[in-house]
């Protein structure tokens, strides 16, 4: 069984990072989140490895903003690839037990892509019946 703790973040794919920053931080007044403070030092080559396992391009950067109680990750990358994508709009759900979540997906024949090692958390990406990307997330 997959046990969800909370919505970890919501990812929105954006075309223009500068315009999106002006909108979310300027107009809406949301503070930026320092990505490096959250993820620390990312393993060299992680982005390339993530692109390999997903078969998708990561685009030209990301910006994270904070809404009280929730982060919004503004990401650039391939749009609507028809496959689970960390580089497109997605809903990230924190799970209690990552290995149990993977076992449940495997038992039910649900296809997913597990992100490579390199971050202080684990990620698996799958799609719902409509094709929306869902990220299952857990601290290491």
pLDDT digit of tens for each residue in the chain (140 aa)?
999 999 999 999 888 999 999 999 999 899 999 877 776 677 788 878 888 888 877 777 889 999 988 999 998 887 766 778 888 889 999 999 999 999 999 999 999 999 999 888 999 999 987 788 999 999 88
Identify the CATH number of the domain in which residue 63 sits. Answer: 3.10.180.10
Identify the domain containing residue 106 by its residue range. 4-139
pLDDT score, position 74: 92
Number of domains in the chain: 1
CA angle 128, 72, 52 (to 5 degrees): 60
- Closest by CA to 98, choosing from 75, 67, 119, is 119
115: tokens are 């992100």
pLDDT score, position 40: 66
Question: What is the value of pTM for the model shown?
Answer: 0.77
Q: How far apart are CA 46 and CA 83, in angstroms?
A: 20
């Amino acid at each position: 069984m997959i046990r969800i703790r909370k919505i970890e973040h919501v990812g929105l794919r954006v075309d223009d990072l500068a315009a999106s920053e002006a909108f979310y931080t300027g107009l809406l007044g949301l503070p930026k989140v320092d990505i490096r403070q959250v993820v620390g030092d990312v393993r060299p080559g992680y982005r390339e490895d993530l692109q390999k396992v997903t078969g998708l391009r990561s685009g030209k950067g990301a910006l994270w903003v904070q809404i009280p109680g929730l982060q919004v990750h503004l990401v650039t990358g391939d749009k609507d690839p028809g496959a689970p994508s960390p580089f497109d709009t997605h809903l990230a759900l924190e799970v209690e037990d990552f290995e149990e979540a993977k076992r449940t997906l495997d038992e039910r024949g649900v296809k997913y892509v597990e992100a490579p090692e390199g971050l202080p958390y684990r990620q698996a990406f799958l799609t719902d019946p409509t094709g929306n990307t869902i990220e299952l997330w857990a601290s290491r």
